[in-house]
Amino acid sequence: MKRKRKSVIFRLLMLFLLIVLIIGGRYLYILKKQVEEVNKWQETVGQTTEEYGISEYGGIVMAIILTETKGNHIDLMQSSESKYGTTNQITTSEESIHSGVAHLAEVINESESQGTDIWTAVQAYNFGSNYISFISERGNKNTIDLAEEYSRDVLAPMLGNNTGKQYRYMNPQAFIRNRGYLYENGGNFFYADIVKWNMSIMKMIDNLPF
């Protein structure tokens, strides 16, 4: 009886491992395809970051594209709003990269002038440049706690959410930290962390032997 029970448990365990391998393999395949789409823009990103004097941050730009659109949208860096003040005005992917890199260069330069870290600048790409002063007064280093505070107490109320209203955001980082939520009109306070994670993902995918 015990041997039979052990055999059932072993089979269930093997089935579970097989399911995990299948799901993991599919996820890896999808990630690889997304990274390949983003990598198509590597030359344009390299030229544009050099033009704006931030060539050392080309990897961050590529990770922003992966974060924003997975390389699968005309407005690759979702930079229409930073350039035109409204969405869906970008007409070519090249324009998106130029606008996005220009905006990133602006917040990086402001971040450096105020002595904050590069991830403050990356978070400011999502929040706006006022976030840099917020961090410079609180230790000069971006953290998720500070980004959430800014999202909840500054950005969301500024854009009309005075009640702390939240909405579901089913991203792995968000789910682990707070079961997955963001503040309505409060930007994405996980943004810098997600871009950092996506940089690591891209390096891993690029180093795969297949």
Q: Where are the beta strands (DSSP E) in the chain?
A: 166-168, 181-183
Write down the mean pLDDT value for the chain: 91
pLDDT of residue 1: 57
Provide the angle, in degrees to the nearest 10, between the axes of the packed helices 191-206 and 58-68.
Answer: 110
Write down all domains in the chain, each with its CATH number in brackets. Answer: 118-193 (1.10.530.10)
Which pLDDT score is estimated for 194? 97
Question: Confidence band (pLDDT; 50, 70, 90) for 5?
Answer: low
Confidence of residue 173 (pLDDT cuts 50, 70, 90): confident
Q: Report the percentage of the chain scoring pLDDT > 70.
A: 93
pLDDT tens digits for range 174-202? 989 999 999 999 999 999 999 999 999 99
pLDDT category at 31 given cuts 50, 70, 90 is confident
In the numeric block, the tokens 């395809």 are attached to: 33
Decide if pLDDT at 134 tops 90: yes
- pLDDT per position as a tens digit, 52-90: 999 999 999 999 999 999 999 999 999 998 888 888 899
**Closest alpha carbon to 192 in 134, 112, 126:** 126
- Contact assessment for residue 124 and residue 63, using Cβ atoms and an 8 Å cutoff: no
Distance, in Å, from the CA atom of 197 to the CA atom of 35, rounded to the nearest integer, reads 13
115 DSSP assignment: T
Report whether pLDDT(168) > 70: yes
Burial class (CB in 10 A: 0-12, 13-18, 19+), 73: middle
- Full-model pTM: 0.87
What single-letter DSSP state applies at residue 208?
-
